[in-house]
Amino acid sequence: MHYLLRKQVVLFTVLVLLGFTSQAQFTQRYRPFHDDLPYYFGLTLGYNSSYLHTTKSSRFLQSDSVMSVEAGASGGIAMGLLATLKLNDRFELRANPQLIIGGSKYLSYRMNLTKPGEPSFQKQILPATLVSVPIQVKFNSDRIGNFRTYMLGGIKFDTDLSSNSSLRNVEDIIKLKPGDFGLEAGIGFNFYLPFVTVSPEIKISYGLSNIHQRDPNLKYSNVLEKIQSRMIVFSIHLED
């Protein structure tokens, strides 16, 4: 996971530096009064890498069937709307509701004692289609020509439309709750073009809720106490 994060950060930085170099070749200042707008809107396209952070329960050490549990990551795409409200010359309040498609998470179990014909390796795939509503505060730097950088932080509320928490009479399936709450932080860059502002951005999302609907009677569920969401998001905003 750390290798994936480093790779994405390096790629993101290279792209931004290339964009900044190309911007420095222009002397014309585009849309000089954009920052004076009291509010503005936009669209968001994004890619995310999501995974699960697990906390094992006391039953894990007592279990004679589950040897290990590992969480895996996968990618998904996001589409959303953007609304930004100016607070002052430095700070802005932003809402960025999104539909996140894909990004299935999974848990890999290595078993010790298995029934005849049962594999020693089990993989629980947990598909996800999220409606995410981040609310963030942006801190803007000074604008240099047609370039500006910003930092952001805030909270998010997620609803998983494909949650399996309502399934009944299904054995040995991990169930996740549909609602989640978390914190977000990131950095982004504004590139002012003649008719639009293009803003590449990278952020880390840190879920605080325990989304595990634990069932003490199921061997795949009772060895885990908590499951929390984690996400790395790369977005491109097209702002009015």
Task: Encode pLDDT of 197-218 as tens digits.
Answer: 999 999 999 999 999 888 887 8
Q: What is the mean pLDDT of residues 129-137?
A: 94
* Residue 158 scores a pLDDT above 50: yes
The predicted structure's pLDDT at residue 24 = 45
* Residue 56 scores a pLDDT above 70: yes
The predicted structure's pLDDT at residue 75 = 86
22 vs 208, higher pLDDT? 208
Average pLDDT, the chain: 84
The predicted structure's pLDDT at residue 232 = 93
Distances (CA, A) of 182 to 31, 53, 103, 146, 208: 35, 13, 17, 33, 5
CB-CB contact of 169 with 138 (8 Å)? no
* Residue 35 scores a pLDDT above 60: yes
pLDDT digits (tens, 9 = 90+) for 38-49: 999 999 999 998
Cα torsion angle, 20, 23, 29, 32, sign: negative
* Residue 173 scores a pLDDT above 90: no
Q: What is the mean pLDDT of residues 170-187?
A: 86
pLDDT digits (tens, 9 = 90+) for 75-97: 889 999 999 999 999 999 999 99
- pTM, rounded to two decimals: 0.81
- List beta partners, residue 106: 72, 125
In percent, the amount of the chain with pLDDT more than 70 equals 82
pLDDT band at 3 (very low <50, low <70, confident <90, very high): very low
Please choose, from the candidates 178, 181, 184, 238, the residue with its C-alpha nearest in 3D space to the C-alpha of residue 212. Answer: 178
Q: What is the mean pLDDT of residues 21-41?
A: 77
pLDDT digits (tens, 9 = 90+) for 59-68: 777 777 788 8
Please choose, from the candidates 156, 147, 151, 148, the residue with its C-alpha nearest in 3D space to the C-alpha of residue 138. Answer: 151
The structural domains of the chain, with segments of one domain joined by +, span 31-178+204-239
* Residue 142 scores a pLDDT above 80: yes
- List beta partners, residue 66: 111
* Residue 69 scores a pLDDT above 50: yes
Please choose, from the candidates 187, 188, 77, the residue with its C-alpha nearest in 3D space to the C-alpha of residue 132. Answer: 77
